[in-house]
A and B are shown apart, each in its own frame.
Chain A
C-alpha cells in the first residue's frame, strides 16, 4: 500500500522544486524521498554557519553547486558583536574543496574570509562562476586577484560593503586577457583607484556584462568612457560624481547615459551635485531601482528626478527627501514596492529635516504595491501607523526606526502600542518587523497574537517586564529570528519558553537582564541549543545572578563551537563550572 515512485520519476518531479523550504518538507516524508531529495539538491542555504557542520553538509548534498552561508548575527552590522567572535569561512571552503569540487557558486554574508580562502576557492573549483560577499571582512585585494586570475568561467564577482585590505588597484589586471564571461562586477567597497584603461579593456572584452558597480575612486570622466564601452548595462553603480561642472563634461555624461537604453538600476551617486542630475533624466523612465541613499541632494532636485521615474519599484533615499518629496513619490511612482529612507544625520539628537511620519503615510496611501519599508524618523504617531496598516495590508516587511529611544506618540504622548497592534493585525503577510519608540508589554501581546507570519523581529529599548518576552515566545508562530537589545526582561520568560528556541534559528539579546545562572541552566537543559554568553569579563567571575552583557542562542546539530574566542562563554568551555547548587530534582 502506498504509492511508490521509481527514484527517477521522483527526481524528475523534484527538479521543478526550487524552494528549499519545500525541499526540506519533501525530505521528511520518508527515507527514500530523503535520499532522492538530497542527491538532487543543487542550491544549499545555511542560515547559520554554526548550526550544522561543513562535513555534514557536503556529505548530505553531493551534487551541491551553490552554497549560501551566513555567519555573524544581524546585530553585528551595528557593532554589537565584538571583533573576533567567529564566522570563519575557512572550514567550509576546506570541506567543499575536498568533497564538492563541482561547486560553482558561493555566497557569504557576515563571515570572515581570508585571502587563503579565496586562493583555495580559485584553486579548487574548476568551474567556479559566482562569488558574492556581503558584509564580509578579512581579505585583501590579493585574494580578489587570485579569483580574477584563476576562475576562467567567472560570471559574478560582487563585494558588497566588505572591509577589504586594499593594496591597490592591480587586482583588476589579473582578469584573463581573452574575453571573459563576466556578467556582474561590483567593487564599490574598495578604496583605491583602478586604472580606467584596464577597466575599459575589461569591459570591452566582457560581452555579457550586465551589471557594473564602481567604487568612488572612479571619476566622472572614467564613467563616461565606461558607459561608452558598455551601453548594454542593466545595472550601474556610478563612481564619485564630485567634479567641477564643465559644460562639455555634462553633455558627454548626458549623452553617455542616453545611450544606455537598457539601464534599469542605478546606484552609487556619491557626492552627486544637483547640477548633474539632469544627465540622468534620459534613463529615468526605464528605471526600476534607484539608490539615492548616498546622494546629499535636496528635495526639489530629488523630486525633479523622481517624477520621471514612473516605473520605479525600489527607492532608497535619505531623509533629505522630506515629506513633500515623498508626497511626490506617492503620486509619480505608482509601481513602488520597496522604500528605504535613511537618516542624513544619524546622531541621536534631532535633526532639522522636515521628514515626519507624514511622508510614510503619503507613500502608503499612494503606492498600492508597497510591500517593504525601512523608515528612519525622529518620532511617530499611532494615527500614522493606523493609516499605514489600513492602506497597506499587503506589507511584507515593516521596519520602523524611531531614532529617539522611548519616544511616545508625540501628539498624544501615549506609547505606540496601538499603532503596532494595527500593523500586526492588519498586515497579515508581514514577514519581517522592527519596532521602536515607546512600547509597553502590551505591544508585544498584540504582536505575539497577531503577527503569525513574522519570521524576523527586531526590538530595541522597549517593554516593561518579562511579560514582553513571554508574549513573544508564546505567540509568533513563525518566528525564526529574534533580536533584542536594551529591554528589561530577565530569566523567567526565557526559561519558560526554552522549547520555543529550538523552533527558531537564533535569539540575540544584549543589554537585557538575563542572568548567567539562567544561561547555564538553559545550556544544560537544551543540548541542541548553543548558548553563547558574550561578555568581556568572564561571567564565572561574577555571581550567578548578575546579568550578562550579550547572549546569542541558536539551534544546532553541529554541537559546540571549537573556535570561540576568550570573550565568548559556553557551557562546554568549563564543564566543571556547571550547575552546582541549582540541582534539579
Chain B
C-alpha cells in the first residue's frame, strides 16, 4: 500500500488548495511518492538536502532493521547523521557545558536556554533556521544518552560526565521536584553527596510587581546568569505585559526596562539568608550563596540603604509588596 501524500484526489479536505502549493513547502514536484524520499523539511532546497533531513536518530541506532511501509523517510540507519550536523564541532563543547544550564524545571521563559546558545547561533548561517533552533535540547539528549550508553557498557554506576537536562523532561511538576529537593536535602544518605535532586527553587519577588516567581538556583553558575534571567523574567512587568491588570490595585512599574533600572541602580537584588537577614546579592562566592539563599527580592534602591554588603541587619519586610 502506498501512501499518497498530497494527492490531488483528496476532495474532502478543506484545505485542498494547500495541497497544490508544493513549492512553498519546499517540495519539488514528485510524480510518484512511493519510493522517493520526501522530506518534511520546510526549507528551500539549496541546502544540502541530506544534511537537513530531519530525524531524531542516534548515530549508532539500536534498530538497524525497521521496515517502513511508505518509504517516505528511510528508517534510522547507523550512518545517519545526527540532527543539525551543520553545527561546528567547537560548539559542541559549549553545548556540552551548556547542559547544566539547559533548564530542568525552572519556571521561566527562554532565559538561559537562549543565552547559552547565543554563541552557537552566531556561528551558524542565518538561513539555517532549522539547524539552530529546536532540538539543541533533543540533540543534547541524544548526545548524552550516547555518552551514557558508552558508560553503561562499563557499568551503571558512573555519574556521566554531561548530564542531560532537558526542559520539562521527565514530565514532573515543579511542585513535586521542589518538594523532593527540600526533603532529600534532609535525608542525606543519597549518592553523589550532592544535596537535593538538582533543583533549588527560591521565590523571587519584586517591588511593584503584582506577583512573584520562582527560580531554580541550580540552573545558574554565576551571578551574571541569575541576573540576566531575572531581568528577562521581570521585564514583562515593566513592559506592561501583565494582561488586564492594568488599573487594578497594585502599583504598576513604569515602562522602563528592568535592565536599565538595574544598571541605573534604582533597583537592587537582595536575598534572605538562612538567618532571616536580608543581604545584598553578590558578595559571597556563588556556591555559598546558593546554599544560604532562601528568597530573593528585587528592592527599590531607597529601601535597601541599610543593607551594606555583608551587613547583618534584620530587615523584615512584612508589608504588602
In contact, B63 and A438 (Cβ under 8 angstroms): yes
CB distance from B110 to the nearest CB of A (A): 4
In contact, B236 and A565 (Cβ under 8 angstroms): yes
In contact, A547 and B42 (Cβ under 8 angstroms): yes
Asked whether B244 is an interface residue with its Cβ less than 8 Å from the other chain, the reply is: yes
Stretch of B156-164, B267-275, B302-310 that contacts chain A: B156-164
In contact, A163 and B24 (Cβ under 8 angstroms): no
CB neighbours (8 Å) of A405 from chain B are 138, 141-142, 145, 166, 169
* A466 and B170 contact, Cβ closer than 8 Å, known pairs A90-B248, A582-B21: no
CB distance from A76 to the nearest CB of B (A): 9
Q: Which residues 241-279 of B sit at the A interface, judged by CB distance below 8 A?
A: 241-245, 248-250
Bound-state CA distance A313–B120 (Å) is 51
Asked whether B75 is an interface residue with its Cβ less than 8 Å from the other chain, the reply is: yes
A196-227 Cβ-contact flags toward B at 8 Å (1 or 0) = 00000000000000000000000000000000
- B164's partner among A161, A348, A470, A511 (CB-CB below 8 A) is A348
In contact, A404 and B6 (Cβ under 8 angstroms): no
CB neighbours (8 Å) of B142 from chain A are 405-406
Asked whether B108 is an interface residue with its Cβ less than 8 Å from the other chain, the reply is: yes
In contact, A545 and B179 (Cβ under 8 angstroms): no
Bound-state CA distance A562–B242 (Å) is 11
In contact, A348 and B249 (Cβ under 8 angstroms): no
- B205's partner among A137, A161, A165, A403 (CB-CB below 8 A) is A165
CB neighbours (8 Å) of A543 from chain B are 43, 127, 129
Q: Which residues 44-97 of B sit at the A interface, judged by CB distance below 8 A?
A: 44, 54-56, 58, 62-63, 66, 68-70, 72-73, 75-76
In contact, B18 and A496 (Cβ under 8 angstroms): yes
CB neighbours (8 Å) of A408 from chain B are 62-63
Asked whether B288 is an interface residue with its Cβ less than 8 Å from the other chain, the reply is: no
Asked whether B105 is an interface residue with its Cβ less than 8 Å from the other chain, the reply is: yes
Stretch of A78-86, A247-255, A448-456 that contacts chain B: A78-86
Asked whether B300 is an interface residue with its Cβ less than 8 Å from the other chain, the reply is: no
Chain B: number of interface residues, binned into ranges: 35 or more
Asked whether B176 is an interface residue with its Cβ less than 8 Å from the other chain, the reply is: yes
Q: Which residues 142-197 of B sit at the A interface, judged by CB distance below 8 A?
A: 142, 144-145, 148, 152, 156-157, 159-160, 163-177, 179-180, 183-184, 186-187, 191, 197
CB neighbours (8 Å) of A90 from chain B are 243-245, 248
* A499 and B13 contact, Cβ closer than 8 Å, known pairs A139-B211, A163-B214: yes
Asked whether A354 is an interface residue with its Cβ less than 8 Å from the other chain, the reply is: no
B7-21 Cβ-contact flags toward A at 8 Å (1 or 0) = 000100111011101
- B184's partner among A78, A296, A442, A497 (CB-CB below 8 A) is A296
CB neighbours (8 Å) of A582 from chain B are 21, 24
Bound-state CA distance A488–B39 (Å) is 10
Asked whether A147 is an interface residue with its Cβ less than 8 Å from the other chain, the reply is: no
- A584's partner among B17, B156, B198, B248 (CB-CB below 8 A) is B17
Q: Which residues 467-502 of A sit at the B interface, judged by CB distance below 8 A?
A: 467, 470, 485-492, 495-499
CB neighbours (8 Å) of A296 from chain B are 183-184, 187
In contact, A547 and B183 (Cβ under 8 angstroms): no
The SS class assigned to the A binding surface is loop
In contact, A83 and B172 (Cβ under 8 angstroms): no
Bound-state CA distance A23–B18 (Å) is 37
A-B contact count (CB 8 A): 289
Bound-state CA distance A383–B177 (Å) is 31
Asked whether A518 is an interface residue with its Cβ less than 8 Å from the other chain, the reply is: yes
In contact, A116 and B42 (Cβ under 8 angstroms): no
Asked whether A441 is an interface residue with its Cβ less than 8 Å from the other chain, the reply is: yes
In contact, A88 and B135 (Cβ under 8 angstroms): no
Bound-state CA distance A485–B134 (Å) is 10
Asked whether A345 is an interface residue with its Cβ less than 8 Å from the other chain, the reply is: yes
Bound-state CA distance A415–B56 (Å) is 13
Stretch of A37-45, A96-104, A457-465 that contacts chain B: A457-465
Asked whether A114 is an interface residue with its Cβ less than 8 Å from the other chain, the reply is: yes
CB neighbours (8 Å) of B249 from chain A are 114-116
Nearest A residue to B203 via CB reads A165
- A547's partner among B14, B130, B138, B173 (CB-CB below 8 A) is B130
In contact, A78 and B145 (Cβ under 8 angstroms): no
A512-523 Cβ-contact flags toward B at 8 Å (1 or 0) = 111101100100
Nearest B residue to A581 via CB reads B24
Bound-state CA distance A513–B54 (Å) is 8
In contact, A563 and B243 (Cβ under 8 angstroms): yes
Bound-state CA distance A137–B43 (Å) is 40
CB distance from B272 to the nearest CB of A (A): 12
Nearest B residue to A88 via CB reads B243
In contact, A461 and B133 (Cβ under 8 angstroms): no
In contact, B41 and A495 (Cβ under 8 angstroms): no
- B63's partner among A112, A413, A491 (CB-CB below 8 A) is A413
Asked whether A77 is an interface residue with its Cβ less than 8 Å from the other chain, the reply is: yes
- A348's partner among B17, B169, B210 (CB-CB below 8 A) is B169
- A137's partner among B15, B70, B177, B211 (CB-CB below 8 A) is B211
In contact, B172 and A348 (Cβ under 8 angstroms): no
A524-554 Cβ-contact flags toward B at 8 Å (1 or 0) = 0100000000001000001101111100000
Nearest A residue to B142 via CB reads A406
A138-160 Cβ-contact flags toward B at 8 Å (1 or 0) = 11101000000000000000000
Asked whether B281 is an interface residue with its Cβ less than 8 Å from the other chain, the reply is: no
Nearest A residue to B64 via CB reads A413
- A488's partner among B56, B179, B203 (CB-CB below 8 A) is B56
Interface positions of B (Cβ within 8 A of A): 3, 5-6, 10, 13-15, 17-19, 21, 24-26, 40-44, 54-56, 58, 62-63, 66, 68-70, 72-73, 75-76, 103-110, 114, 127, 129-130, 133-135, 137-138, 141-142, 144-145, 148, 152, 156-157, 159-160, 163-177, 179-180, 183-184, 186-187, 191, 197-198, 203, 205, 210-214, 233, 236, 239, 241-245, 248-250, 318, 320-321
Closest 10 CB pairs of A and B: A546-B129, A78-B168, A82-B109, A490-B40, A536-B110, A138-B211, A515-B42, A88-B243, A84-B236, A499-B14
Residue pairs across A and B with Cβ atoms less than 8 A apart, 25 shown, are: A78-B171, A79-B167, A82-B108, A91-B244, A112-B211, A114-B250, A138-B211, A165-B321, A347-B165, A352-B156, A376-B170, A414-B63, A414-B66, A440-B68, A460-B171, A464-B76, A490-B54, A491-B25, A496-B19, A511-B137, A515-B42, A521-B18, A525-B14, A525-B15, A562-B244
Interface positions of A (Cβ within 8 A of B): 75, 77-80, 82-84, 86, 88, 90-91, 112, 114-116, 135, 137-140, 142, 161, 163, 165, 167-168, 189, 242, 270-271, 293-294, 296, 342-350, 352, 376, 401, 403-406, 408, 413-415, 438, 440-442, 458, 460-461, 463-467, 470, 485-492, 495-499, 511-515, 517-518, 521, 525, 536, 542-543, 545-549, 562-563, 565-567, 581-582, 584-585
Further contacts, 6 of them, CB under 8 A, given A346-B172, A352-B157, A406-B56: A142-B320, A348-B144, A349-B160, A442-B69, A460-B171, A467-B72
